[in-house]
């Protein structure tokens, strides 16, 4: 599985998650794209990385799910989408780090159990994961 963290998630968090789940590839936005690369551009490129593996976007930007054009690109790409709900990007690093490490195994489990591209929302306060439905139904 390839897990791609978007520009709103620090590269340090991505690298840390790579150590937490070494059997999966965790890739940070800054290692592949310039700051400010449009979401529609990087989503299409990420979708081409490996058709034999599940590719998951781990995102701190819920606006992708509200923008008509970006939602359409997400549907076309057929990627899994894990949204770190509001509150995550405002956490101090120490709080972010322990919370993401604690919830990460459950994120992986939810993605692995999904039979089709889904949206999962991870709450910062409770660390609950809410399935928001199929990507195709956005």
- Taking only the tens of pLDDT, the chain with its 138 residues reads 999 999 999 999 999 999 998 999 999 999 999 999 999 999 999 999 977 788 999 999 999 999 999 999 999 999 999 999 999 989 999 999 999 999 999 999 999 999 999 999 999 999 999 999 999 888
- Determine the pLDDT at residue 23: 93
Going from the C-alpha of 30 to that of each of 85, 106, 136, the distances in angstroms are: 21, 25, 28
Residue 82 forms beta bridges with which residues? Answer: 58, 120
Query: Model pTM greater than 0.85?
Result: yes
From the candidate CATH numbers 3.40.50, 3.30.1050, 1.10.150, 1.25.10, the one assigned to the domain spanning 2-137: 3.40.50
Q: CA 136, CA 114: separation in Å to the nearest integer?
A: 13
Q: CA 69, CA 85: separation in Å to the nearest integer?
A: 21
- Determine the pLDDT at residue 116: 92
Q: Tell me the domain boundaries of the chain.
A: 2-137
């Amino acid at each position: 599985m390839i897990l791609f963290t978007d520009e709103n998630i620090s590269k340090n968090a991505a690298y840390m998650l790579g150590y937490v789940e070494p059997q999966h590839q965790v890739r940070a936005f800054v290692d592949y794209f310039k700051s400010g690369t449009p979401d529609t551009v990087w989503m299409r490129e990420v979708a081409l990385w490996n058709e034999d593996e599940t590719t998951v976007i781990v995102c701190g930007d819920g606006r992708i799910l509200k923008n008509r054009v970006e939602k359409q690109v997400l549907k076309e790409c057929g990627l899994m989408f894990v949204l770190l709900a509001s509150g995550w990007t405002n956490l101090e690093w120490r709080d972010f780090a322990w919370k993401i490490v604690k919830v990460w195994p459950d994120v992986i489990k939810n993605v692995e159990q999904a039979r089709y591209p889904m949206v999962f929302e991870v709450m910062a306060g409770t660390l609950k994961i809410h399935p928001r439905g199929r990507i195709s139904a956005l």
